[in-house]
Amino acid sequence: MNRPRLTGLPPLLALALALGGCALGPDYVRPDAAVALPEAYTAAAPLAQSPSVASNWWSLFGDSQLDELVKQALASSPDARLAAARIEEADAVLAQVDAALLPQIDGNASSTRSRTVLPNTHPAQNLTRTVNKLGLSTSFELDVWGKLRRASEAARAQALGTRYASDTVSLSLAASVVQAYLNLRAIDAQLLVTRDSLAAQQRSTELTRNRFNGGIASRLDVEQAEGALASYTATLVQLDKSRSLAENLLGLLVGQPGLKVASGDLRSLPLPPVPPAGLPSSLLEARPDVQQAEATLIAANAKIGVAKAALFPGITLTGSFGRESQDLSQLFSAPAMVWSFGAGLTQPIFEGGRLRAQVDQVTAQQKQSLESYRKAVQTAFREVNDALVSVRQNGEAEDAYTKAMDAAKRALQLAQTRYEHGYSAYLDVLVAQRTANDATLAWVQNRQARLSSTVDLFKALGGGWKAG
Per residue in 408-432, pLDDT (tens digit) is 999 999 999 998 888 888 888 889 9
pLDDT score of 121: 64
pLDDT score of 11: 56
**Whole-number Å distance between alpha carbons of 344 and 316:** 5
pLDDT score of 46: 43
SS3 323: strand
pLDDT digit string (tens) for 241-268? 999 999 999 999 998 888 899 999 999 9
Beta strands across the sheet bearing 125-142: 104-118, 125-142, 314-325, 337-346
Portion of the chain with pLDDT greater than 90, in percent: 50
Query: What CA–CA distances, in Å, run from 81 to 78, 86, 166, 167, 296?
Result: 5, 9, 9, 12, 22
β-strand partners of 49: 274
256 vs 362, higher pLDDT: 362
β-strand partners of 317: 140, 343
pLDDT digit string (tens) for 267-307? 999 988 876 655 666 677 778 999 999 999 999 999 999 99
Q: State mean pLDDT over 362-388.
A: 93
SS3 251: helix
Strands 314-325 and 125-142 turn out to be antiparallel
Q: What are phi and psi of 383, to 5 degrees?
A: -65, -40
HSE at residue 53, side-chain half, CA atoms within 13 A, is 28
Cα 29 to the center of its chain, rounded Å: 24
**Whole-number Å distance between alpha carbons of 360 and 255:** 46
SS3 27: coil
pLDDT digit string (tens) for 87-116? 999 999 999 999 988 999 888 887 787 777
Taking 60 as the threshold, does the pLDDT of residue 18 lie above it?
no
Taking 70 as the threshold, does the pLDDT of residue 347 lie above it?
yes
pLDDT score of 130: 77
pLDDT score of 3: 41
Are 172 and 253 in contact by the 8 Å Cβ rule? The answer is no
pLDDT score of 112: 84
Rg, Å, the chain Cα set: 39
335 vs 355, higher pLDDT: 355
For 344, the enclosing helix (H) or strand (E) is: strand 337-346
pLDDT score of 51: 45
Are 53 and 293 in contact by the 8 Å Cβ rule? The answer is no
Are 373 and 294 in contact by the 8 Å Cβ rule? The answer is yes
**Whole-number Å distance between alpha carbons of 291 and 84:** 17
**Whole-number Å distance between alpha carbons of 195 and 201:** 10
Q: State mean pLDDT over 392-397.
A: 93
For 282, the enclosing helix (H) or strand (E) is: none
Helix, strand, coil shares of the chain, percent, nearest 5, are 60, 15, 25
Residues in the chain: 468
For the chain, the average pLDDT equals 85
For 118, the enclosing helix (H) or strand (E) is: strand 104-118
Q: State mean pLDDT over 7-33.
A: 66
Query: What CA–CA distances, in Å, run from 41 to 36, 385, 387?
Result: 13, 7, 11
Helix axes 64-76, 219-254, angle to 10 degrees: 40
pLDDT score of 134: 79
pLDDT score of 49: 45
pLDDT score of 346: 87
**Whole-number Å distance between alpha carbons of 139 and 167:** 40
Q: How many CB atoms lie within 10 A of CB 451?
A: 24
Taking 80 as the threshold, does the pLDDT of residue 154 lie above it?
yes
**Whole-number Å distance between alpha carbons of 149 and 24:** 10
Query: Which of 242, 212, 208, 238 shows the shortest CA–CA distance to 225?
Result: 208
pLDDT digit string (tens) for 325-336? 777 666 666 667
Q: Furthest-apart CA pair in the chain: how many Å?
A: 147
Report DSSP state, residue 59: G
Q: State mean pLDDT over 343-366.
A: 92
**Whole-number Å distance between alpha carbons of 406 and 448:** 19
Taking 80 as the threshold, does the pLDDT of residue 63 lie above it?
yes
Are 270 and 61 in contact by the 8 Å Cβ rule? The answer is yes
* 221-247 burial: b if 16+ Cβ within 10 Å, else e: bbebbeebbeebeebbeebeebbeebb
